[in-house]
Amino acid sequence: MSTAAPGRLIAAARSSVSGLPRAFWWLWASTLVNRLGAFVATFMALYLTLDRGYSASFAGLVAALHGLGGVASSLGAGVMADRLGRRPTLLIAQVGTALSVALLGFMHDPVAIAAVAFLVGAANNASRPAVQAMMADIVRPEDRVRAFSLNYWALNLGFAVSSVAAGFIAEFSYLAGFLIEAGMTLACAILVFLKLPESRPAPTAKEAGEPTIGLGTVLRDRRYMAVVGLSFLVALLFMQGSVGLPVAMGQAGFSPADYGTAIAVNGVLIVALQIPVTRFIEHRDPRRLLVISSLLAGYGFGLTAFAGSLGVFALTVCVWTLAEIVNAPTQTGLVVRLSPVHGRGRYQGVYSLSWSVAALVAPLMSGTVIDHLGAEWLWGACAVIGTVAGLGYALLMRGLPAEEAEIAAPAAPARPAVEKAA
């Protein structure tokens, strides 16, 4: 290898992380710490079916209630992020998540498990609009795809470590996993409290005289709502990595550690490839990227129908992981691009709703299909959904307006909200 190669790698790494504000890195650190403690979302299906002895349908129902909690909180959290501020919304969400996750580990009655799972979903999802809005607030438009990619990289670095560790923790004690996640989430709240200032931009004199952006404004934005609908289809696919795949592998005789190893491939690949791939796609046509990533996701999960060994399962994870690497920063950048500055919380809340509804539908879909038709039908449906999403992006993004020139606003002190619209 040429002696210049290491220098080029170092220069590329420096250019990938340079120029981003200090507040972004504290938010990045919060994402990393939170994901290092991830347990419930990854191993809930195995916990209920293998440890508690419930059916795949009940596991799907509980996961769906977890998703329903996210649906309930998505819009409210978006409004909170615009009215109350990004920082207090994030603090409330993280403290609520820590308390509800710890409580879930001690629940034994099926009704109690379902009810607390709903609370966990509501609290956990409430942080999403605030994080995305804060990141858009503090990062310049030309750096946003890179910033979203780095944040997603942190998320999956934590996931790569936690998924393997949690697999072995689950074989020892599921309760320990719940308590570890609660502790790590509480650590995130402390980090946000100590290090992150409020970032909500103060309105200019011109903006103060304009009509307030409410939820109705978002819902009447046809192009944006179409993006939200397509995001739901893509999210429905990626959810199968944590709801359909573990159940299918468990029924096929694989252990929690086997699933943890297979799904860890997802995190490892994202850690290894997210930054170089983002450098490659950063200034390319988002329509083409979203079409390609939708097709890769659909057919990547579709290939799971032919998996009969741990190695083949891991290979299918590689295919849909590549789709995830391309889709995540591209989709998030598109959402911010279509969102007005002083409505980011609400717009992000509605976008978050697509993932929350997917978290509600995906477990019901996978549990029902696996129980009544078999896992092969689930993977075939994934291929169809990916094809539909790809065609949708190809049609929707014709004539996409140019991105606005905008200067990221400096962090502003928290102030009383003056907006009146919901």
Q: Which residues contact 358 (CB under 8 A, 6 or more apart)?
A: 67, 232, 235, 236, 239
- The pLDDT value recorded for residue 202 is 67
- The pLDDT value recorded for residue 55 is 79
| Cα(344)–Cα(127) distance, integer angstroms | 14
Q: Which residues contact 349 (CB under 8 A, 6 or more apart)?
A: 74, 75, 76, 77, 78, 79, 81, 129
What is the distance of C-alpha 262 from the center of its chain?
19
In this predicted structure, the answer to whether residue 71 has a pLDDT above a threshold of 50 is: yes
Q: Which residues contact 56 (CB under 8 A, 6 or more apart)?
A: 45, 49, 247, 251, 367, 370, 371
Distances in Å between the Cα of 20 and the Cα atoms of 104, 179, 194, 219, 326 are 38, 34, 20, 32, 21
In this predicted structure, the answer to whether residue 404 has a pLDDT above a threshold of 90 is: no
In this predicted structure, the answer to whether residue 408 has a pLDDT above a threshold of 70 is: no
**Residues in the chain, how many?**
422
- The pLDDT value recorded for residue 99 is 92
Tokens of 244: 């359909």
H-type alpha helices, 173-255 = 174-195, 205-208, 215-219, 222-238, 244-251
In this predicted structure, the answer to whether residue 385 has a pLDDT above a threshold of 80 is: yes
Residue with tokens 């403690």: 37
| Cα(143)–Cα(129) distance, integer angstroms | 19
Lowest mean pLDDT among 233-237, 291-295, 352-356, 417-421: 417-421
CATH homologous superfamily of 21-201+216-396 equals MFS general substrate transporter like domains (1.20.1250.20)
- Percent of the chain residues past pLDDT 90, beyond the cut: 11
| Residue 180's pLDDT band (cuts 50, 70, 90) | confident
In this predicted structure, the answer to whether residue 4 has a pLDDT above a threshold of 60 is: no
In this predicted structure, the answer to whether residue 399 has a pLDDT above a threshold of 90 is: no
Per-residue pLDDT tens digits for 190-201: 888 888 887 777
| Cα(324)–Cα(295) distance, integer angstroms | 11
**What burial class does residue 416 get, using C-beta atoms within 10 Å of its C-beta: 0-12 exposed, 13-18 middle, 19+ buried?**
exposed
Higher pLDDT, 311 or 284: 311
| Cα(33)–Cα(133) distance, integer angstroms | 20
**Total Cβ atoms within 10 A of residue 50:** 18
In this predicted structure, the answer to whether residue 136 has a pLDDT above a threshold of 70 is: yes
Judge contact between 192 and 355, C-beta under 8 A: no
Judge contact between 342 and 218, C-beta under 8 A: no
| Residue 243's pLDDT band (cuts 50, 70, 90) | confident
Q: What is the CA radius of gyration of the chain?
A: 21
Find the farthest-apart pair of alpha carbons in the chain and give their distance in angstroms, rounded: 64
- The pLDDT value recorded for residue 29 is 84
Mean pLDDT of 340-347: 75
| Residue 417's pLDDT band (cuts 50, 70, 90) | very low
Question: pLDDT averaged over the chain?
Answer: 78
Judge contact between 36 and 162, C-beta under 8 A: yes
Mean pLDDT of 164-172: 74
* Domain ranges, ordered by start, for the chain: 21-201+216-396
Mean pLDDT of 152-181: 78
Tokens of 6: 């290491």
